[in-house]
Chains A and B, each alone.
Chain A
Amino acid sequence: KQEVTQIPAALSVPEGENLVLNCSFTDSAIYNLQWFRQDPGKGLTSLLLIQSSQREQTSGRLNASLDKSSGRSTLYIAASQPGDSATYLCASSGSARQLTFGSGTQLTVLP
């Protein structure tokens, strides 16, 4: 059974810093990996999707990498802003297409 772990559970940084969120998964036979953002009491917003054949994806200040062999993915946020404060979730997708989520990293960017 796939297990997804995210470290750290919480992170607080001053505005302008670059930061990295980590995600690891136990079963490397994934279909794809997706990063989401969740604001308090809200649903999930998809940030980046990395197919199993890809190594990274970029969108604006966000860059996500995928290393299937080591079971790791990272989300890099450049020049962080207070508006980036949220919980970030990674999720792996198996052959049945349902997602297995990590427990999330709660990010606070201080002005």
Chain B
Amino acid sequence: NAGVMQNPRHLVRRRGQEARLRCSPMKGHSHVYWYRQLPEEGLKFMVYLQKENIIDESGMPKERFSAEFPKEGPSILRIQQVVRGDSAAYFCASNRDYLNTGELFFGEGSRLTVL
């Protein structure tokens, strides 16, 4: 009964490198959401994906950030040319389908540190 799995749990990158964060949703879930939590702040929505489709990317920075959820395999959040301001906890969440209760199931997060 695996929950939402994220890896890596911790990632250290130097400025200018690329960061790739992976998320496997709960079994049977086809909707994936990425949220970012900056230090001492709340969770900010980044992107909502279904298999092979980006549904809402209104929270994604316009440059350097991209996300995908392929037909096979995990969802990936990719940050190119990282900067110190990208240091944050990135949480992935999933749900099965349209639920009017809105409950999302979260992973334990990936903590990115940019040196």
Chain B binds chain A: no
Q: Which residues does A use to contact B, with CB under 8 Å? A: none
